[in-house]
Amino acid sequence: MVSAVNNSIPTEGGNSTNGKTLDACTIVIFGASGDLTARKLIPAIYHLFKEKQMPSAFRVVGFARREKTDASWRQELRTALDQFSRTKPVDDKVWAAFAENLFYCQGDLTDDAAYKKLETQLTEFGSGPLRENLLFYLAISPSQFGEVVEQIHRCGLLNKEGAAWQRIVVEKPFGHDLASAHALNQELTRYAHESQVFRIDHYLGKETVQNILMFRFSNSIFEKLWNRNSVDYVQITVSEKIGVGERGGYYEEAGALRDMVQNHMLQVLSLIAMEPPVSLEAEAVRDEKVKLLKSIRALTPEDVAKQIVRGQYFAGAVDGQLRPGYRQETKVKADSNVETFVALKLFIDNWRWSGVPFYLRTGKNLPMSASEVRIQFRPTPNVLFAAKCGNTIEANALTLRLQPNEGISLRFNGKVPGTTLGARPVRMHFSYDSEFGAYTPEAYERLLLEAIAGDATLFIRRDEVETAWQIVDSIRAGWEGKSLTNREFYSAGTWGPIAADDLLAQSGHTWHEPQVIK
C-alpha cells in the first residue's frame, strides 16, 4: 500500500521493501527507558534489521531522563532482547552490527536545553537524511505529547513544510473522552500536519486483522454473502484470561469500554463491516472506516439500558487458580462500579447492514484469551429435513480467529454416515501456521515499517478517533449515576454476567464461546 498523503521524497540511502521507498532516517524514541521500548520497539527494529527490511542507513536515538551512555543503553537493550525477542537465541553477529546504530540522549522532557542537545546529536550524523528524515516515537504519557511536539518544533527538528520528512508516532490512549481527544489532536496538529501524525493501535498490525480486507474483497464466494440478505448477526469477542492485576489504578480511570472498545473493537468492527474502498491507498481505506463508524446508530440513555451490558468480576477460579475479585485488586475502590466486562448490541444504519445486530464483548478473567469474529448466516427454511433430522440442522457460520491459533473456520452441515438420515455440523479449518509456516511478524514490526515508509493505512486518523469517542461517550452518559446490578457481576473464570446472555436472548441468539483449535 502507498499512502495517498506522504510527505517523503526519495533521498540518498533509500531502500525498498514491497515496493515502498524506505528513506534513510533517524528514529527518536522519547521514553527510551520505558517498558514499551525494551519489550516491543527495539525488538521490532532489531528483527526488521535482521530481515534486511530497514533502510540501508538508519539511526535510533533514545531520549530519557536517566543518566546513561550509548554503551550502557545498548547493554540494557541487549539484555531485554534476550528476553523479548521472538527468535532465540539472539544472533550475536547481527546484534553487533545493529547496536552500532543505537545512541542515547539524556534529558528531561521539560528542559529546553535537552532538546538543543538532541538537535546537536542529530546534526553530528551529518547534514543529509539521517538529520532531516526523522521519526519521533512518543512512548510517553499523552499528557506530555503537546510539550514534546512544541519543543521539537522550536528547535528546528519538526516542520510542516520542507523537502525532508518528519513524522510523529503516538500510542493510545488518545484521550479519555471526545473533549480530551479533540484537545489532544489540536495539540498534535498545531506544529504538524495531520498527515505527519501516526496514531498507533497495535491491534491493526496483527497479520490476521490485516487479512480481513483480503478475505472480504478478494473472495467472490464470500463477498456476495457479506450483507443483510445472508447474514443473521455478527459477533466480535476479545476475551482476556488475565485479570486487572497491577493495573488497578489505570483501570479505575479507563474500564473495559475505554480500554478495549473505543479502539481495538471498533477498529475490527469497521474492517469487518466497511464498504470496499476505491483503492488500497491510506486515505481511501480510512475514509470507508470513518463512514462505517458514523453509520453506527446513535445511542440514547434508553438505548444504552437495552443494548449495552457492563460487568465486573468477583473472586473465582481460572484454571483451578483462585483469583481475587476486582474490588480486592490493588488500587481499586472497595465499592467500585468500573466495568471489567462490556457487551454491546449495535446496529449499522446503512444499506448493507440494515437490521443486522452486531454483538461485541470483551472482558477480564474469562476462561481463555482469544479474539475472533463470527459471521452467523441466516438459517435455511426448516421444511425439507425437519421430519428426519429435527433440530440438528444448524445455520452456517464463518469464524475469523485473530488470536491465538490464527485461522478461518467455516461451519456447515453434513450427513452422518449410516442407513438413517442424520445431520451434524462439521467444520473446515484454515490455519495460518499450517499453510504459511509459523513466522508471523510482531505487530510493531509491521507498524514501524509502515511509519518509516509513510503509509498511514494501518494508523488511525483524527476523525476516526473522535467518531469512536462519540459512541463511547454516549454509552458512559447512559451509565452515569447507575450502580451495577446483581445480574452484572460474574465469577472469575466464567464467560461474563447473566445480563450479557439476556442481551442476546432478546433476539433469540446466544453467544458463541471461542474454542481451542488443535
pLDDT digits (tens, 9 = 90+) for 49-92: 999 999 999 999 999 999 999 999 999 999 999 999 888 898 99
Category of 469 on φ-ψ map: left (φ > 0), alpha (ψ -120 to 50) or beta: alpha
Residue with cell 476523525: 463
Q: 379 lies in a domain?
A: no
pLDDT digits (tens, 9 = 90+) for 160-205: 888 899 999 998 889 899 999 999 999 999 999 999 999 998 888 7
Q: Are residue 178 and residue 246 in the same domain, yes or no?
A: no
Is 264 a catalytic site residue? Answer: yes
Model pLDDT, residue 6:
38
Q: 144 lies in a domain?
A: yes
Q: Which amino acid is at 293?
A: L
Which structural domain range is residue 216 located in? 205-374+441-505
Within 10 A of 485 (CB to CB), how many other CB atoms are there? 13
Q: 472 lies in a domain?
A: yes
Q: 422 lies in a domain?
A: no
Task: Identify the CATH number of the domain in which residue 138 sits.
Answer: 3.40.50.720
Higher pLDDT pick, 14 / 166:
166
Q: Are residue 41 and residue 162 in the same domain, yes or no?
A: yes
For the residues 485-498, what does the mean pLDDT come to? 96
Which residues neighbour 75 within 8 Å (Cβ) at sequence distance 6 or greater?
none
Element (H, E) at 129: helix 129-132
pLDDT digits (tens, 9 = 90+) for 293-304: 999 999 999 999
Checking if the pLDDT of 502 tops 90, the result is: yes
Instruction: Using CB atoms within 10 Å of the CB of residue 434, give its burial: 0 to 12 exposed, 13 to 18 middle, 19+ buried.
Output: exposed
Q: Are residue 174 and residue 254 in the same domain, yes or no?
A: no
Which residues neighbour 113 within 8 Å (Cβ) at sequence distance 6 or greater?
107
Q: Which amino acid is at 485?
A: T
The active-site residue out of 153, 264, 509, 512 is 264
Q: 431 lies in a domain?
A: no
Q: Are residue 174 and residue 269 in the same domain, yes or no?
A: no
pLDDT digits (tens, 9 = 90+) for 33-45: 999 999 999 999 9
CA of residue 283 relative to chain centroid, distance: 19
Q: What is the DSSP letter of 490?
A: E
Residue finishing a domain among 140, 174, 200 = 200
Closest CA to 344 of 360, 364, 355, 366: 360
Q: Are residue 70 and residue 137 in the same domain, yes or no?
A: yes
Closest CA to 298 of 475, 476, 479, 461: 475
Q: Are residue 228 and residue 123 in the same domain, yes or no?
A: no
Which residues neighbour 437 within 8 Å (Cβ) at sequence distance 6 or greater?
none
Which residue(s) pair with 377 in the sheet?
231
Q: What is the DSSP letter of 52?
A: T
What is residue 357's three-state secondary structure?
Answer: strand
Tell me the average pLDDT of the chain. 89
Higher pLDDT pick, 362 / 403:
362
What is the pTM (predicted TM-score) of this model?
Answer: 0.89
Domain total of the chain: 2
Q: If pLDDT is split at 50, 70 and 90, which confidence band does 453 have?
A: very high
Q: Which of 14-18, 131-135, 146-150, 401-405 has the weakest average pLDDT?
A: 14-18
Residue finishing a domain among 184, 200, 216 = 200
Q: Are residue 303 and residue 348 in the same domain, yes or no?
A: yes
Closest CA to 500 of 237, 314, 254, 178: 237
Q: 417 lies in a domain?
A: no
Residue finishing a domain among 142, 176, 200 = 200
Q: If pLDDT is split at 50, 70 and 90, which confidence band does 386 have?
A: low
Q: 389 lies in a domain?
A: no
Q: Are residue 123 and residue 253 in the same domain, yes or no?
A: no
Give the number of residues written for the chain: 518
Say if residues 395 and 406 touch (Cβ distance below 8 Å).
no
For the residues 361-387, what does the mean pLDDT come to? 85
Q: Are residue 248 and residue 303 in the same domain, yes or no?
A: yes
Q: Are residue 66 and residue 161 in the same domain, yes or no?
A: yes
pLDDT digits (tens, 9 = 90+) for 152-162: 999 999 998 88
pLDDT digits (tens, 9 = 90+) for 269-291: 999 999 999 998 999 999 999 99
Q: 409 lies in a domain?
A: no
What percent of the chain has a predicted confidence (pLDDT) above 70?
Answer: 91
Dist. CA 11–CA 324, nearest whole Å: 56
Model pLDDT, residue 21:
79
Checking if the pLDDT of 355 tops 80, the result is: yes
Higher pLDDT pick, 14 / 190:
190
